[in-house]
Amino acid sequence: MNGSRRFLSPKVLAAISRLDLKARLIVEGFVSGLHQSPFHGFSVEFADHREYTPGDDIRHIDWKVYAKSDRFSIKEFEEETNLKCTMLLDVSESMRYRSGETSKLEYGSVLVATLSHLLLHQQDATGLVLFDSDIRRHVPESSRPSHILAILAELDRAVAEQKTDVSVLFHKIAEKIKRRGMVLLVSDLFCPVEPLMRGLKHFRHKRHEVVVFQIVDPFERDFPFEDNTLFKGLEGYPELLTEPRSLKAAYLKNFRDHAEAIRKACADQRIDFVQIGTDQPLETVLPRYLALRARR
Amino acid sequence: MFPGFANPLLLAGAALIAIPILIHLLNKRRFRTVEWAAMEFLLQAEHKNRRRIQVENVLLLILRCLLVALIVAAVARPQVRKGSLLSIAAGATPTDRVVVWDDSLSTGHVSGSGTCLDAMRDDLLRILPHFETDWRSDALTLVRTSKPTVPDYFRFAPRGAHRRDAEARIRQAAPTARSANLVACLESVRERVSGGAQVPKALYLLSDFRATDFAAAGAGSGLEIVLDKLAKEGWGITFLDRGADDVENTGIVALEPEEKLLVANAPVRFSARVRNFGDQPVGPIEISFKTSEGVVPAAAIPSIPARGEAFRSATLLFSSPGSAWVEATASADRLAGDNARAVAFTVTSGLPVLLVNGEPKAEAFGDETAFLAFSLAPPGAVVSGFKPQVVLDRALHPGSFEGFPVVILANVERLPEDVLAALERHVSEGAGLVVFPGTRTDVDSYRAEWFKAGKGLLPVPPIEARSAPREAPARLSPDGIDPRGVLRVFEGSDNPSVRTLQIGRWLALEEPAKDAGVEILARLQTPAREPFLARKAFGKGRVWFFSISADRDGSNWPTLPSYLATLFPLVEDAGSRAEASRNLAPGAPLVVTYPAAKCERRIQIRPPGKNALVEIDGAAVEGTALYRAEFADTENPGVYTVVLKEHERGETFQHFTVNPEPDEGDLRRIPHSELERRLPAVKGIQWVRDVDDLFRASAPEASEIWRTLMHLFLLLLAIEALLAWRFGRGA
């Protein structure tokens, strides 16, 4: 299926059309587009030279070229925003689960695509990392409008098959991202809290702004099972035959405690934590979140 | 009923305890399969709660098995010994205690210091206090055999003021003139009390256990059937025998006129039959007669042998026609109730006989009723005792039959529907009907309307008219004629009455159906041996149907002496039935019918031994010109005088009598072993002679605890539901 049709919903896009995703925390770089830099200089990517014309900023004269050619040349730079957003999408096997029409992976993919579209629309750069126990795909950040197609193509190809293991992975990704920017994690977060938070802390240590979107299925959130059920665990977990009603209370406590622990830990790190159920329409959830961010 | 469980076979239902276990095991095999991502949380939850879940499952399983066990136990109705710890824990089970006491006439027999009924009364007064002690939670039903369907008390608690009221009523009880209808009594008890809740039941029968009360007892008898039903329904049955060993008694067992027709100013003999029920000869016995016109001095029967009878007669004269009565009284003995007997009857200036002429003719002795009228009331000084009145058939109307105890139809072709209906009513109320066919007889009408497939007046349907040649007429067969019957004049071989009777024309009659209740009193000597005279009962009356006519058309009979000799006893017999309804058994309703045009609606009745009159308004009888009044309080034996107020004649009287059953004076008791032998299907009857033995012998030993089990079941069901909800599992 065409990725744009699959992951970019006109309804969702329409819902966020008047919103933007601003970096909340100060990022490096000069102001270009929507974001402010604390520094006067800027760090941009060199694109080309042009002949000096009176009035150009003499700070941009490439003296090495002058030395060689005895001509004054001005460095031309790719106009780059300060916001570079890296989307981390969990494609582990657990993301395959669905109780209704939409799996967590599909929902997450829509979320990623929508946010990518938003960022590109506001001329920010966005990239994508698909991960499970390792990095499966990496689409480097770019602010070109056509970059959305690359992102959508990867989303379309994504398959949830492997186990989750973020204990080393996030550190690896953190080292890969050179410039400060935003890291948006889209996952069900079905992993131990400690290694997860260590990874997220690493991003924070690197001065990235981190937003965590936990995607949960309504059945995982509410555990509505009644009759005898054989639960076959994904990601290599053993199966369990049980009367769900007898475990419901304990399960929900474990589930909520886990989410609460992550939320608390995120709050301590000034990381936004948003839990979204796949039964919640994104056109309602996302605008709400973006508006909330905008008010802060 | 077995101690332990009332329905032990239902304990097999204990196998149903396996059901919850099976369901539990089967549930483990039925499940849905789900891929699950959040497995870690589930496994943690399972690990933490594993033991708790196991305990909860076991607890619910035990509860469910216990519920099944409780239901099975409850329907098996376990019984525990009364007074045992378990019965105390289970609570007292109320017992229905039914006392049936015999207040028939024989219980008035004096033995020792009191009567048998006095002894039973004392027993009852000693029973009542137990309802305030060890029978405190039980209920009493008290029934007398004289009122089997109307208990004195029904399921009531004789405590406090109620007990005093019951004692007062028991003290007032007296022997009745009735016989003890034990079957009706026990059936009534069974229906009334069995319909209630499933509680233990005890039946106590207080009686003198006379052999005649149990004369009909035997295998398959009504008594055996009802006792067997009671035993199978769990009743504890106790017989308290209050009969005395002294059985000496005499009583008047019959009082009858020797004539069937009582005519004014014609002497008639009345005979009182006295029976000695005892094992010793008795005598002398003084017998006195009293009539509606006076008293006859007593005369003695010198002696009556053991178990023998003797007669004492009196010739009486009644000066005027109308209702009359005679009462015979024997000298007092230890049972007063059977020492008197009365009979009511009508003294006539002649028995009115309605002759319906179906074919009037002008010639002398030519029409159908000429010979009948002449024979029944021949001219001259001698009073025949009959007053025939002739009416043409076409002049009949529904009221024509009123006042005629005997109706004779002679060659009547057919009757209008309303007249036939009135005739049927008249006969069913006790009148006699004699039907002579003739040349005008409409066979089809007789078959369809008079015979009515056996439901009508005629005993048998006619077939067709037949004849015999003059030179060889048909004759009557003397075979099978009852020498005491109405045709007794033809009885015996070589009887000239048979030889002289020549029959040229007759109406062939069909043979009656078996079990139709029809008697063929004589037959013709024809090849088919057709019936000559058939008789059947119709209600309280009877119908005679001849095959020959009453005139000379069909035979020479009216000219023969045997004609008169047959008519007299026939009409007497036909007219005598009307009196039966005036001599009643105790408790039978006294019914008076009287002409509405002649009398006031209100009548008065004087019961025996009372001066006060009871007033009753009669009710009009539909389709007739009569009133009908019914008086139900006929418990006391003796003469009941009904006073009618006629518009023209003033007060006129009708008399009725109530007499006890003749064998109520037979005081011989039935041995217990004999009664048990004759009721083989009835097991477990306790016999006691003393009321104290009653409490020991018959008190049900067990009390049922099924109610407690059901309460426990409901409680556990609620607990199970609550726990299942609490544990998060459905039932």
Q: Is B351 exposed, middle or buried (0-12, 13-18, 19+ CB in 10 A)?
A: buried
**Where is B602: in which H helix or E strand?**
strand B602-606
Q: Is A54 helix (H, G, I), strand (E, B) or coil?
A: coil
- Residue A194 sits in a domain of what CATH number? 3.40.50.410
Six-digit token string for B316: 């009486």
Residue A113 and residue A155 in one domain: yes
Residue A208 and residue A220 in one domain: yes
Residue A73 and residue A163 in one domain: no
Cβ-based contacts of A234 with chain B (< 8 Å): 35-37, 39
Name the range with the highest mean pLDDT among A81-85, A176-180, B2-6: A176-180
- Sorted by sequence, the CB contacts under 8 Å of residue B552 that are 6+ apart come out as B365, B371, B558, B559
The string over A22-40, giving b where at least 16 C-beta atoms fall within 10 Å of a residue's C-beta and e elsewhere, is bbeeebbbbebeebebeee
Looking at residue B297, its pLDDT comes to 83
Residue A178 and residue A288 in one domain: yes
Tell me whether residue A273 is in a domain.
yes
Rounded-to-integer distance, Cα A273 and Cα A72, Å? 51
Residue A263 and residue A117 in one domain: yes
Q: Is A135 helix (H, G, I), strand (E, B) or coil?
A: strand
Alpha helices in B539-590 (DSSP H): 561-576
Are the C-beta atoms of residues A133 and A168 closer than 8 Å to each other? no
Residue A24 and residue A64 in one domain: no
Are the C-beta atoms of residues B98 and B202 closer than 8 Å to each other? yes
Please name the residue of chain A whose CA is at the shortest distance from the CA of residue B25. A228
Tell me whether residue A133 is in a domain.
yes
| Phi-psi label, residue A33: left if phi above 0, alpha if psi -120 to 50, beta otherwise | left
In whole numbers, what is the pLDDT of chain A averaged over residues? 82
Nearest to B437 by CA among B530, B374, B565: B530
Residue A85: what are its φ and ψ, rounded to 5°?
A: -110, 130
Tell me whether residue A92 is in a domain.
yes
Looking at residue A22, its pLDDT comes to 56
B278: Cα within 13 Å, side-chain hemisphere: 19
Tell me whether residue A256 is in a domain.
yes
Q: Which of A228, A250, A255 faces B30 most closely, judged by CB atoms?
A: A228
Residue A17's pLDDT band (boundaries 50, 70, 90)?
Answer: low
For residue A68, the tally of other CB atoms under 10 A from its CB is: 10
Q: Is B178 helix (H, G, I), strand (E, B) or coil?
A: coil
In DSSP notation, A233-282 reads ESTTPPPEEE-HHHHHHHHHHHHHHHHHHHHHHHHHTT-EEEEEETTS-H
Residue A237 and residue A290 in one domain: yes
Residue A181 and residue A281 in one domain: yes
Distance from CA of B42 to the nearest CA of A (A): 5
> A33 vs B604, which has greater pLDDT?
B604
Looking at residue B724, its pLDDT comes to 85
**Where is B329: in which H helix or E strand?**
strand B322-330
Looking at residue B654, its pLDDT comes to 92
Looking at this protein, which amino acid is placed at residue A219? F
Residue A147's pLDDT band (boundaries 50, 70, 90)?
Answer: confident
Strand B322-330 to strand B250-257: parallel, antiparallel, or no bridges (unpaired)? unpaired
pLDDT tens sequence across A185-232? 999 999 999 999 999 999 998 888 999 999 999 999 999 998 889 999
For residue A223, the tally of other CB atoms under 10 A from its CB is: 20
Looking at residue B577, its pLDDT comes to 62
Helix-strand-coil split of chain A, %, nearest 5: 40, 20, 40
Long-range contacts of A8-13 (CB under 8 A, 24+ apart): A8/A110, A8/A113, A8/A114, A8/A117, A8/A152, A9/A110, A9/A114, A9/A282, A9/A283, A11/A281, A11/A283, A12/A110, A12/A114, A12/A282, A12/A283, A12/A286, A13/A114, A13/A117
Tell me whether residue A289 is in a domain.
yes
Cα-Cα-Cα-Cα dihedral sign, residues B211, B213, B218, B223: negative
Residue A125 and residue A19 in one domain: yes
Helix/strand/coil (H, E, C) string of B646-657?
A: ECCCEEEEEEEE
> A42 vs A103, which has greater pLDDT?
A103
Tell me whether residue A146 is in a domain.
yes
Q: Is B138 helix (H, G, I), strand (E, B) or coil?
A: coil
Cβ-based contacts of A227 with chain B (< 8 Å): 30-32
Residue A22 and residue A57 in one domain: no
Are A188 and B27 within 8 A, CB to CB?
Answer: no
For residue B706, the tally of other CB atoms under 10 A from its CB is: 22
Residue A37's pLDDT band (boundaries 50, 70, 90)?
Answer: very low
Residue A102 and residue A220 in one domain: yes
Q: Which of A97, A226, A246 faces B37 most closely, judged by CB atoms?
A: A97
Say which range, A259-263, A269-273, B157-161, has the weakest mean pLDDT.
B157-161
For residue A282, the tally of other CB atoms under 10 A from its CB is: 19
pLDDT at A3 over 70: no
- Tell me, what DSSP letter sits at residue B5? B
Are A233 and B27 within 8 A, CB to CB?
Answer: no
Q: Which of B33, B38, B44 faces A232 most closely, judged by CB atoms?
A: B33
| Phi-psi label, residue B529: left if phi above 0, alpha if psi -120 to 50, beta otherwise | left
Tell me whether residue A37 is in a domain.
no
Tell me whether residue A235 is in a domain.
yes
Candidates B39, B55, B59, partner chain A, best to mutate (most A CBs within 10 A): B39
Residue A212 and residue A139 in one domain: yes
Please name the residue of chain A whose CA is at the shortest distance from the CA of residue B50. A247
- Tell me, what DSSP letter sits at residue B451? I
What Cα–Cα distance (Å) separates residue B665 from each residue in B109, B151, B173, B287, B333?
Answer: 9, 26, 20, 17, 11
Regions in chain B scoring below 50 on pLDDT = 1-2, 196-197, 698-699, 731
Are B32 and A229 within 8 A, CB to CB?
Answer: yes
Six-digit token string for B587: 């408790």
Domain range enclosing A65? 44-79
Are B33 and A248 within 8 A, CB to CB?
Answer: no
Q: How many domains does chain A have?
A: 2
pLDDT at A2 over 70: no
Rounded-to-integer distance, Cα B551 and Cα B556, Å? 8
Rounded-to-integer distance, Cα B353 and Cα B382, Å? 18
